[in-house]
Structure 1
Amino acid sequence: MNQDIELLAAYWTIAGDIYPMGPTEVSPFSFENRMEAAGQAGFKGIGLVHNGMMDTVDKIGYPAMTAILEKNGIKHVELEFLVDWYLSGERRRQSDKVRQELLEAAEALGARSIKIGPGIGQEIADVKLMAKEFRLLCQQAAEVGTNVVLEIMPFSNVRNIETALAIVERADQPNGGLLLDIWHLERGGIKFSEISKIPARFIKSIELNDAHKYAIEPLWMDTIHKRVLPGDGTFDVPAFIKAVQAAGYEGPWGLEVLSDTHRKLPLEQMANRAYESTISQFRK
């Protein structure tokens, strides 16, 4: 069974001592070194965050990036993170610039998906508006051959499966679906049994990780600093994997660990520990 499992290292898992919305989102390790470490550890996929990715594009360009990916056996690429995609005004103008660069990168790198966020810190989702804008974004992404995956988050206006499904079902696009991250489900009080409510065609991406029993406050700080490798916390990672498999998911498995201890390790150690701890969850 393990030979059929392909793991994808999300950007923050092996980016080094940086974190979302910190002083910089550009990895201290070169793109080539990160891809080499990922490939040698066993990963078949990688995640790239917009700011870090554009820094690499400026330095070496897409053709060189593609060659490095191929050289290291990296065949799955996920891009992130688009927010404010359904708003208007200045925030939307800024979002649209990021959108265009992510779409261009998806085409150049053959990315499997673009990760997008809900309204972080917002209470109520305007499902009709979000579905309309999600449909448009999916149609734009289809032109470059990539999926759009909406992430459920407990501190957002899409914090349960019902709201998330309402958006993607109403949009009804073949390349549009959901990203299920075990951290967001666990911390959001979503039972793994609820995953069975999601039609397989809408489960587009998965992220694994673990955490301790009690979250620090605010919850945002817990998610960007206190995650741990699968098996090092209290989440039932094998049960989550089984629930996702039972729902029909067959794609690569992402690993997203944002940890203020893991990120300080040497690059090869980060990659190797991340891979081994995650693949072992499929043996349980």
Structure 2
Amino acid sequence: MTTQNIELLAAYWTIAGDVYPMGPSEVSPFSFNDRMEAAGRAGFTGIGLVHNGMIATVDQIGYPAMKSILEQNGIKHIELEFLVDWYHTGERRRQSDKVRRELLEAARALGVRSIKIGPGIGEDSADIDLMVKEFTVLCQQAADVGANIVLEIMPFSNVRTVETALAIVEGADQPNGGLLLDIWHLQRGGIDFSEIARIPARFIKSVELNDAHRYPIEPLWMDTIHKRVLPGDGIFDIPAFIHAIQAKGYEGPWGLEVISDTHRKLPLEVMANRAFETTMRQFND
């Protein structure tokens, strides 16, 4: 492999600092400007923003200033996260719809590539017909602001297999709707990389790299938000995953999502530089 034409996107948690999903706060202790400068200097051309942190930044400096900072630092690929309960009803849906509106507004204002959505975390089964219907509506709303909708496969959810994920995105069959393939979720979910070949190329919209130790801590949710490691520091066969994705013709940016209780305590510049360097090395194997 070669690193020529490879672009990396630092997912939010990778350089957010000492915060984690559903923690006491999801708002980075580092300013938006400092994070974008660190990402750009390290070599990243893409960035991820999480809803709570993004809204805090909007309140502080507004979208025009954010867009200017992104452009000044060479950040051209932007992904937003994380929409859940998008197919539910009642209070869960009411809260979800508020997040949806704010993510779509941000997508329009910032020129976002993709909005990441979650399956039913902790749910046993998927109502495919319902999820196809709601996924279709969501994709059409995102198309109006020029963004993709990417559904993430997760082992502790109701979309934990390639078969279920494909039933949803193929059923909706929207040009801007597809899957986010994160190596952690595939590996910890027991999905062999050979299954990637089953996914039509048009549905591979986003990809994320990371690594992990041989034995996960339990419950698995705690492993994913505290114990991921930088690519090459664990036991995942990352080059094999990259080969499987590239074999489908994927040409988008490669996300790096490291959610680690040790990495996130490092200085910002160290976090960004280590993340970029260790990930780029995976493309030379």
Q: TM-score, normalised by structure 1?
A: 1.00
Offset of residue 3 of structure 1: 2.6
Q: Secondary structure at the match of 2:250?
A: coil
For residues 166-214 of structure 1, give each alpha carbon's deviation from its aligned partner in whole angstroms, at most 9, with x where no partner exists.
0000000000000000000000000000000000000000000000010
Give the AA of the match of 2:199.
Answer: I
1:67 equivalent in structure 2: 68
1:229 equivalent in structure 2: 230
2:181 equivalent in structure 1: 180
1:171 equivalent in structure 2: 172
1:37 equivalent in structure 2: 38
Cα distance in 2 between the residues matched to 1:121 and 1:140 = 27
Give the AA of the match of 1:71.
Answer: Q
For residues 212-243 of structure 1, give each alpha carbon's deviation from its aligned partner in whole angstroms, at most 9, with x where no partner exists.
01000000000000000000000000000000
Cα distance in 1 between the residues matched to 2:115 and 2:82 = 7
Offset of residue 249 of structure 1: 1.1
Q: Secondary structure at the match of 2:228?
A: coil
1:114 equivalent in structure 2: 115
Cα distance in 1 between the residues matched to 2:139 and 2:124 = 24
Give the AA of the match of 2:173.
Answer: D
Give the length in aligned residue pairs. Answer: 284
Cα distance in 1 between the residues matched to 2:72 and 2:41 = 11
Offset of residue 247 of structure 1: 1.5
1:128 equivalent in structure 2: 129
2:156 equivalent in structure 1: 155
2:240 equivalent in structure 1: 239
2:26 equivalent in structure 1: 25
2:92 equivalent in structure 1: 91
Give the AA of the match of 1:174.
Answer: P
Q: Secondary structure at the match of 1:4?
A: coil
2:266 equivalent in structure 1: 265
Cα distance in 1 between the residues matched to 2:163 and 2:4 = 34
2:48 equivalent in structure 1: 47
Q: Secondary structure at the match of 2:49?
A: strand
Q: TM-score, normalised by structure 2?
A: 0.99
Cα distance in 2 between the residues matched to 1:212 and 1:193 = 22
Which structure 1 residue ranges, 4+ long, deviate > 3 Å from structure 2?
none
Give the AA of the match of 1:133.
Answer: E
Long gaps (5+) in structure 1 = none
CA RMSD of aligned residues (A): 0.4
* Alignment of 1:192 onto 2:227: no
Cα distance in 2 between the residues matched to 1:104 and 1:191 = 37
Cα distance in 2 between the residues matched to 1:98 and 1:128 = 23
1:280 equivalent in structure 2: 281
Cα distance in 2 between the residues matched to 1:76 and 1:154 = 27
Q: Secondary structure at the match of 1:224?
A: helix
Long gaps (5+) in structure 2 = none
Q: Secondary structure at the match of 1:155?
A: coil
Give the AA of the match of 1:130.
Answer: M
Give the AA of the match of 2:104.
Answer: L
Cα distance in 2 between the residues matched to 1:190 and 1:151 = 13
Cα distance in 2 between the residues matched to 1:132 and 1:209 = 32
Cα distance in 1 between the residues matched to 2:187 and 2:250 = 19
- Identical aligned pairs, as a percentage? 81
Cα distance in 2 between the residues matched to 1:22 and 1:258 = 12
* Alignment of 1:250 onto 2:272: no
Cα distance in 2 between the residues matched to 1:38 and 1:3 = 19
